[in-house]
Amino acid sequence: MTATAATDLPLWPPTNPDHGPFALLDEQERGRLDKPVTRVRLPTGATAWLVTRHADVRQLLRHPAFSANFEKPGFPLLRPLPPQSELERQGGFIRMDGDAHTRLRRMLTAEFMIKNVRRVEPLIQQTVDEALDALQAAGPPADLVEAFALPVPSMVICHLLGVPYADHGFFQARSRTLLDRTAPVERVRTEVGELRAYLRELALARHADAATDLISRLVRDRVATGELSVDELVGMALLLLVAGHETTANMIGLSALLLLREPGRLDALREDPDRAPALVEELLRYLSVVRTGLPRLAVDDVEIGGRLIRAGEGAIAVLSLANRDPEVFGTADEFDPYQQAHQHLAFGFGVHQCIGQPLARAELRIALVELARRFPGLRTTATPEQLSTRDTSVVFGLNRLPVTW
């Protein structure tokens, strides 16, 4: 560790949002932060190593010397952790290591595997069609985030989990708080508690139920057999509910803006929808909505990018900058619909890599193909620089996307 005072270190995440939704850093930030491994200061006052290169991010996220457990002393948090009881932490396997993580994740891997998501595609298609029917019926102008990008993934995950979509106002508002790194910790604690209580009540009502949604099946197959506690189920459902709509919703909104920005992009998708899977990979790479990165704590000394990271030090794997690494992606700061983007790290890497990625890919593909097909004259009425963005959220995105057609 260097003797530099923490206050001299650059701040992560950077605070200047005035560069529009597609640039990751402004010039000054780039000079200070876009190096392979940089010591940074976090909003909590702690310090951490910022890791930005593709190969280094892969190594870090797959290395057993790093823990994902937020509770460990020295963990590089972006906001103070709300005080939580043991019960309130149950089931949140995104923050667990080793066998504890594997045990819970493996109860869900079959659910989100590619062939299962294929079986869900008609539901996604129907959800997209209905949202676009409603948009067409209401007529222009519209906010594409509120009318399309947010409700589609939200309805799909509700259907899969067995959460009533009618309650979307309740859980969407609380999801936003949970992901806002500037939200006061007491408020985060209250709202997470409300979400857990809501999901607990849903789960308990399912005991005698024959329904086929995921929560009902986990109650019958895992809770009733004593394999899983109700509080663990609640934590898992919370994770899936929040991750299941926030990430894809923001990807759909930003993708629509990016495709609308240059004439011809939507036309190309409409004329050749078979290109959609490759286009989706490039959108995932270029937009990388988890922009503040994935924090980890070194539990052993380890060298990353030529830098020794010692046990007890924090590191942040910056997926978004790794996805713009010119060593891997050539003209990485350009959006290139023909880019071979399959190596992107938008879903993370290592054993915590997004479990819902086949679902996210299918939702994005179907949503964008149908949007292009049904709304050939779609255009946005705002420039990217005028749009309000979610700068303090763990999941970056647009607050609104005004469109007409």
What residues from 84 to 143 belong to the interface with other proteins (CB under 8 A)?
102, 105-106, 108-116
Candidates 68-76, 125-133, 219-227, 355-363; binding stretch for other proteins (CB under 8 A): 355-363
Q: Shortest distance, CB of residue 60 to other proteins, whole angstroms?
A: 12
Helix (H) / strand (E) element for 202: namely: helix 185-205
d(CA 307, CA 201): 48
Q: How many residues bind other proteins (CB under 8 A)?
A: 27
DSSP 393: B
Tokens of 103: 């045990």
77 binds other proteins (CB under 8 A): no
CA atoms within 13 A on the CB side of 39: 17
Q: Shortest distance, CB of residue 74 to other proteins, whole angstroms?
A: 25
Select from 151, 350, 384, 397 the one that contacts other proteins (CB under 8 A). Answer: 350
Residue closer to other proteins by CB (options 174, 361) is 361
Q: Shortest distance, CB of residue 283 to other proteins, whole angstroms?
A: 16
d(CA 5, CA 340): 42
Q: Shortest distance, CB of residue 28 to other proteins, whole angstroms?
A: 34
Select from 171, 329, 347, 396 the one that contacts other proteins (CB under 8 A). Answer: 347
d(CA 176, CA 252): 17
Candidates 14-22, 132-140, 313-321, 347-355; binding stretch for other proteins (CB under 8 A): 347-355
Helix (H) / strand (E) element for 315: namely: strand 314-317
d(CA 45, CA 35): 21
Q: Shortest distance, CB of residue 94 to other proteins, whole angstroms?
A: 12
**304, 56 Cβ separation under 8 angstroms:** yes
Tokens of 55: 């190969």
What residues from 155 to 174 belong to the interface with other proteins (CB under 8 A)?
none
Q: Shortest distance, CB of residue 7 to other proteins, whole angstroms?
A: 37
Select from 126, 177, 343, 399 the one that contacts other proteins (CB under 8 A). Answer: 343
Tokens of 337: 């619909």
Select from 125, 357, 374, 399 the one that contacts other proteins (CB under 8 A). Answer: 357
Residue closer to other proteins by CB (options 76, 348) is 348
Q: How would DSSP label each residue in 93-156?
A: GGG--HHHHHHHHTTTTTTTSHHHHHHHHHHHHHHHHHHHHHHHHH-SSEEHIIIIITHHHHHH
275 binds other proteins (CB under 8 A): no
Select from 35, 62, 207, 310 the one that contacts other proteins (CB under 8 A). Answer: 62
Candidates 7-15, 44-52, 343-351, 363-371; binding stretch for other proteins (CB under 8 A): 343-351
348 binds other proteins (CB under 8 A): yes
220 binds other proteins (CB under 8 A): no
The count of other CB atoms within 10 Å of the CB of residue 332 is 19
Q: Shortest distance, CB of residue 267 to other proteins, whole angstroms?
A: 27
**65, 301 Cβ separation under 8 angstroms:** yes
By CB neighbour count within 10 A (0-12 exposed, 13-18 middle, 19+ buried), where does 81 fall? middle
Q: How far is CA 36 from the centre of its chain?
A: 23
Candidates 70-78, 195-203, 267-275, 342-350; binding stretch for other proteins (CB under 8 A): 342-350
278 binds other proteins (CB under 8 A): no
Q: Shortest distance, CB of residue 359 to other proteins, whole angstroms?
A: 10
Residue closer to other proteins by CB (options 105, 168) is 105
**68, 97 Cβ separation under 8 angstroms:** yes
**37, 304 Cβ separation under 8 angstroms:** yes
User: Which residues contribute to the site for other proteins (CB under 8 A)?
Assistant: 61-62, 102, 105-106, 108-116, 342-343, 347-355, 357-358
